[in-house]
Amino acid sequence: MRTILNYCLFLLCLWDMPALADVNSLQLDELTSPEVHSKILAGNTTILIPIGATEQSGPHLVLGKHNVRAYLLSGQIAKKLGNALIAPVITYVPEGAINPPVGHMRFAGTISIPEAAFEAMLEGAARSFRQHGFRDIVFLGDHGGYQKNLEHVAQKLTREWVHQPHSRVIAMTDYYRLSSSRFVEILKKRGFTEVEIGKHAGLADTALSMALDKNLVRNDALAHMEKSGEADGVVGDPRRATAELGQLAVQEIVDGTVTAIRAAVNAH
């Protein structure tokens, strides 16, 4: 009896113990300032800035799908790069006019900010990281609507820093291309039609989300969906999506983005 009591007390002590800080984390907001400084001095001079979106994706995908995907994929990319840390995900992005609402803003929950505000936020983040000693500042955008904004900011700072070449900004558009057009090619080879694959919340979008986090998908809503359309916020047909299909995209995105980042760094 005493042994059981002692064991229970031991478990209670464990329950009350604070979680130990993970000094080996690659997530910037899980580290202290001195830990970040030490990692930069040790060679972690690449910073990934994952960018998501808060937008509707039909009745079966959660509003934050882009944010979760950007977080999880950037983690895999950073681990494979070996010299990168990861900034907090940017979740507020341009989604079109608010009043009158257009595009995704016609659906509850979508958040839109002006393009100028978005670019100013990206620029401020990049300047902050350059100040701290990061050399390669990489934008990873999970949503197609703002890719031009990422390129605009990267080009602006590249011109400004041309005579101070120890830092650079890279708009990694390959990351989005691999998750969209490249994944579409893979699915077509497996017999899926372009209409079914879709451009938003269709088979491709849903499968990638399933592969990364099953909680992004409302399976009950998916199971009872009839053929949807733009009136439902869906462009495509997600009903045959599976995590196994999505995993094909995950591998392409991670491997392809790592290769593209290394090539961009070496070219500079």
133-149 pLDDT tens trace? 999 999 999 999 999 99
User: Is the pLDDT assigned to residue 179 strictly greater than 50?
Assistant: yes
The percent of residues in the chain predicted with pLDDT above 90, rounded, is: 84
| Selection from 9-23, 162-176, 197-211 with the highest mean pLDDT | 197-211
User: Is the pLDDT assigned to residue 125 strictly greater than 60?
Assistant: yes
DSSP letters for 78-127: HHHHSSEEEPPPB--B--S-TTTT-GGGGSTT--B--HHHHHHHHHHHHH
What does the pLDDT read at residue 21? 57
The percent of residues in the chain predicted with pLDDT above 70, rounded, is: 90
What does the pLDDT read at residue 228? 66
User: Is the pLDDT assigned to residue 265 strictly greater than 80?
Assistant: yes
User: Is the pLDDT assigned to residue 38 strictly greater than 90?
Assistant: yes
User: Is the pLDDT assigned to residue 19 strictly greater than 90?
Assistant: no
**Can you name the residues that pair with 51 across neighbouring β-strands?**
90, 141
User: Is the pLDDT assigned to residue 178 strictly greater than 80?
Assistant: yes
* Longest pairwise C-alpha distance within the chain: 75
Number of residues that this document lists for the chain: 268
User: Is the pLDDT assigned to residue 9 strictly greater than 50?
Assistant: no
* Fold of the domain built from segment(s) 23-267: Rossmann fold (3.40.50)
What does the pLDDT read at residue 225? 86
What does the pLDDT read at residue 12? 46
User: Is the pLDDT assigned to residue 229 strictly greater than 80?
Assistant: no
User: Is the pLDDT assigned to residue 158 strictly greater than 60?
Assistant: yes
Of 6-20, 105-119, 248-262, which range is least confident?
6-20
Average pLDDT of the chain? Answer: 91
d(CA 35, CA 30) in angstroms, rounded, equals 10
pLDDT band at 224 (very low <50, low <70, confident <90, very high): confident
What does the pLDDT read at residue 10? 42
